[in-house]
Amino acid sequence: MEHRSFRDEMARNRRSSLLLVIFVSVILFLLVYALVLLMTPDYLFIAMPLSMFLIVLYAWGSYRYGDGVVLSSTNARPAEGREYQYLRDTVEGLSVAAGIPPPKIYVIDTDEMNAFATGRDPEHASLAVTAGLMRELNRQELEGVVGHEISHIRNRDILFTTLVAVLVGLAAIVSYVILRTFWFGGGRRREERRGGGIELIILLIGLVLAIIAPIVTRLVQFATSRRREFLADASSAELTRYPEGLASALEKIMKGNQGKMDVSEAVSHLFFVDPKRSPLDALFDTHPPIQERIKRLRAM
């Protein structure tokens, strides 16, 4: 019954993930379309096909190389050398227990305690932990956190969370370009265009989306993360057979982290705990409360 519950929860996550990726893609298409209209007002006939081509090309690139973009944006480096042998052994052992190939392992040089997994499937996955996590946690606590990230890989959360990270990042960039173009010349070119009203509507939609993009993308990250974190916590407890290890790790992280990791907001939902506090967190925190996660683990 418990395994059926896990499978049902994973199926719901995948369905909701697909809908969220479609939602972000539609927003991104409208933003790109608005930008193309602003940049090429005299060639309206190419705006739609060019926008579609750019989105399809970017989506394919995100699927193939999104994990590399995420790893690069966090300054993760391969966990090589004898000092990381225990980490590699831990990842390999838990991967075998989960029935997946061991992911590539990376380290992020920061005193903050955190971790994340990325990739497109269990055969093409990567797992990164911070130097602070390895230094501050004991064996059972580290196994709990690694088990959580291995569970994300096994549950196939990583494809959708990685796609959301890359698409959200592009949406932020396009929004910024639209606002700059609109205020510094785009408005004038729009008035000089010979296009119809539908293009003006698209431009206005694009402008509105560009203004509210930070809140919209934060909502999407919020929707992709919370349920998955609870499921990955439960899956980690199942893998390690010791829920207290993960609960204790969360307590240390809650007390020790400052929430000041130098990472983009676009990738914050990938992490084990929120790596960076922001004013929007009070409304749209991408992670469930740590106290609630600890409570659930200790109730197992």
pLDDT of the residue at 222 = 65
Name the more confident of 90 and 28: 90
Instruction: List, for residues 173-210, the tens digit of each pLDDT value.
Output: 777 777 777 666 555 454 454 445 666 666 677 677 77
Taking the CA of residue 28 as centre, how many other CA atoms within 13 Å lie in the half-sphere pointing to its CB? Answer: 27
| Top mean-pLDDT range of 7-11, 238-242, 276-280 | 238-242
> 218 CB contacts (<8 Å, ≥6 apart)?
265, 280, 284, 286
- Residue 55, φ and ψ in degrees, nearest 5: -70, -45
> In angstroms, rounded to a whole number, what is the distance separating the alpha carbons of residues 270 and 118?
8
Do the Cβ atoms of 145 and 115 come closer than 8 Å? yes
Sole residue written with tokens 């994973």: 10
Look over the chain and give the mean of its residue pLDDT values, rounded to a whole number: 81
Active site residues: 149
Name the more confident of 24 and 132: 132
pLDDT of the residue at 285 = 63
Provide the residue ranges of all domains of the chain, joining segments of one domain with +.
2-298
DSSP SS3 for 45: helix
Closest CA to 111 of 251, 246, 257, 263: 257
Residue type, 213: A
| Top mean-pLDDT range of 44-48, 94-98, 178-182, 185-189 | 94-98
Q: How far is CA 150 from the centre of its chain?
A: 15
Q: Is 75's pLDDT higher than 50?
A: yes
> In angstroms, rounded to a whole number, what is the distance separating the alpha carbons of residues 137 and 139?
7
Q: Can you give the pTM of this predicted structure? A: 0.80
- Residue 289, φ and ψ in degrees, nearest 5: -55, 135
Closest CA to 134 of 151, 116, 111, 150: 111
pLDDT of the residue at 127 = 98
Helix 139-154 with 85-98: angle, nearest 10 deg: 50
Q: Tell the burial category of 254 from Cβ atoms under 10 Å away from its Cβ (0-12, 13-18, 19+).
A: middle
Query: Which residue(s) pair with 276 in the sheet?
Result: 260
- Residue 218, φ and ψ in degrees, nearest 5: -65, -40
Q: Is 155's pLDDT higher than 80?
A: yes
The pairing of strands 115-119 and 104-108 is unpaired
> In angstroms, rounded to a whole number, what is the distance separating the alpha carbons of residues 246 and 52?
44
Beta strands, E only, the chain: 77-78, 104-108, 115-119, 125-130
